[in-house]
């Protein structure tokens, strides 16, 4: 990201109950801020289990920080968590610079990354929902209350007008996103007719999801070393081996404490995960703090209602490890999306995970129904097959909906033949 000339000072409240160590929190906040092109001039960490109701950090600590900001030419202070409008106002008065919180930084990054109409609508909705409770009238304006019945001061009127416009725009955006959501549902229904299982790629932002997506599908989507490159879901076919296929969906990456405004606004996009048959969780095992990132992704999956969908863990970036997997590594498939190491093992593990809902079925497919036979081979694991006088007899392991579709097609064929005599 090109520098913007802004100098930022990071403010971090160290609260052990949040389950996020200050070093890891500082590192992630620094990356988020630098993603906007801001230069990080310094960091202040205060161990404080509970935020100050008025100033978030302690007033004494803030007085210590104020001269440091002047000395370093700081133009913006960044709070490590979402702060209230009142806290923001008091912080700006005490520090003498603009104050933003982590949620604002993440929303701004999403706004810059959004490319599709759907992505832009969802980001705008998240921004407006964040902004609405933070609209404040200026004290000087609000004090100019007019006399007489039914009259109001100009400040109050302006504030109410702004709020009304925001609410109207939010309702409009919600309506447009509902329409997009309905279209997505139609697309998902069409995919189900293919009979191919859906595997959803999830993971912490910048864990290598898109690189893995490209490796498995042969696509060439942008895969850069920065946060939130992928905001819009992409679905492609990929090979599981022995002719079997599945659909792979790549969508937005998660972060620790993903702002609730984004989770709510991107619900239509995140439904791609909810409708999957298997969640493939990509974890960058080469970086310290992978335990917190693993937990953060699981928390978001729980928030969007995907907690019960089967999981498979892909332990990515093993090419960066010198001494093997770190102690305490959870069970998963070691891979390198960059070099291709372990990808055949991963395909096999995905196929095995998808087979947990499969049952054995036997079919006799007439020779002139080659398309149906090819579809069965794509969607099912073939145990054996043999060629007979009437057609190809085979035993496959597949999901119930696949078997029902095959049986329905064969029954229709039998009826047509019976009617022709």
At 162-172, the pLDDT tens digits run 888 999 999 99
What was the pLDDT predicted at 153?
43
What was the pLDDT predicted at 285?
93
Rounded mean pLDDT, 209-214:
91
The residue with greater pLDDT, 107 or 147, is 107
Are the CB atoms for 263 and 302 separated by under 8 Å?
no
From CA 170, how far away is CA 126, in angstroms rounded? 9
Which of the following CATH numbers is that of domain 196-355: 3.40.50.300, 3.40.50.150, 3.30.750.200, 3.30.70.600? 3.40.50.300
> Which tens digit of pLDDT belongs to each residue from 236-272?
999 988 788 899 988 777 777 777 777 776 776 677 7
Q: The whole model's pTM is what?
A: 0.77
**CATH dotted code for 7-109:** 3.40.50.11060
Where helices occur in 96-153 by DSSP H, the ranges are: 102-113, 117-131, 139-142
Residue 19 pLDDT > 70: no
Could you tell me which residues come within 8 angstroms of residue 420 by beta carbon, excluding any fewer than 6 positions away? Answer: none
> Which tens digit of pLDDT belongs to each residue from 82-124?
999 999 999 999 999 999 999 999 888 888 877 778 878 888 9
> Which tens digit of pLDDT belongs to each residue from 273-303?
888 889 999 999 998 888 888 988 898 888 8
């Amino acid at each position: 990201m090109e520098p913007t000339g802004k100098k930022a000072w990071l403010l971090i409240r160290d609260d052990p109950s949040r389950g996020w160590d200050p070093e890891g929190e500082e590192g992630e906040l620094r990356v988020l801020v630098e993603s906007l092109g801001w230069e990080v001039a310094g960091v202040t960490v205060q161990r404080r289990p509970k935020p100050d109701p008025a100033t978030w950090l302690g007033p004494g600590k803030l007085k210590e920080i104020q001269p440091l900001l002047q000395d370093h030419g700081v133009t913006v202070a960044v709070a490590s968590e979402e702060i209230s409008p009142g806290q923001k106002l008091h912080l700006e008065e005490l520090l003498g610079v603009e104050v933003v919180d982590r949620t604002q930084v993440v929303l701004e990054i999403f706004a810059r990354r959004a490319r599709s109409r759907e992505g832009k609508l969802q980001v705008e909705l998240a921004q407006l929902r964040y902004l609405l409770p933070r609209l404040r009238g200026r004290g000087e304006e609000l004090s100019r209350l007019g006399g007489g019945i039914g009259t109001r001061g100009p400040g109050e009127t302006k504030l109410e007008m702004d709020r009304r416009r925001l609410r109207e725009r939010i309702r409009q955006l919600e309506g447009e996103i509902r329409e997009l959501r309905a279209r997505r549902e139609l697309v998902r229904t069409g995919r189900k007719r293919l009979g191919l299982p859906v595997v959803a790629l999830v993971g912490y932002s910048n864990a290598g999801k898109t690189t893995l997506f490209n490796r498995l599908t042969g696509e060439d989507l942008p895969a850069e070393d920065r946060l939130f490159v992928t905001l819009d879901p992409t679905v492609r076919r990929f090979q599981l081996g022995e002719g079997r296929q599945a659909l792979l969906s790549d969508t937005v990456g998660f972060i620790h404490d993903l702002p609730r405004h984004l989770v709510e606004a991107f619900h239509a996009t995140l439904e791609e995960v909810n409708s999957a048959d298997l969640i493939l969780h990509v974890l960058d095992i080469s970086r310290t703090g992978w335990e917190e990132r693993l937990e953060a992704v699981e928390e978001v999956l729980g928030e969007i209602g995907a907690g019960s969908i089967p999981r498979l863990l892909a332990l990515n970036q093993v090419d960066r490890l010198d001494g093997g997997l770190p102690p305490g590594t959870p069970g998963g498939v070691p891979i390198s999306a960059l070099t291709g190491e372990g990808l055949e093992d991963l395909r096999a593990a995905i196929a095995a995970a998808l087979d947990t809902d499969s049952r054995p079925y036997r079919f006799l497919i007439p020779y002139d129904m080659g398309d149906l036979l090819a579809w069965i081979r794509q969607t099912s694991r073939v145990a054996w097959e043999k060629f007979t006088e009437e057609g190809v007899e085979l035993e496959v392991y597949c999901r119930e909906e696949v078997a029902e579709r095959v049986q329905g097609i064969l029954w229709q064929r039998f009826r047509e033949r019976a009617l022709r005599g």
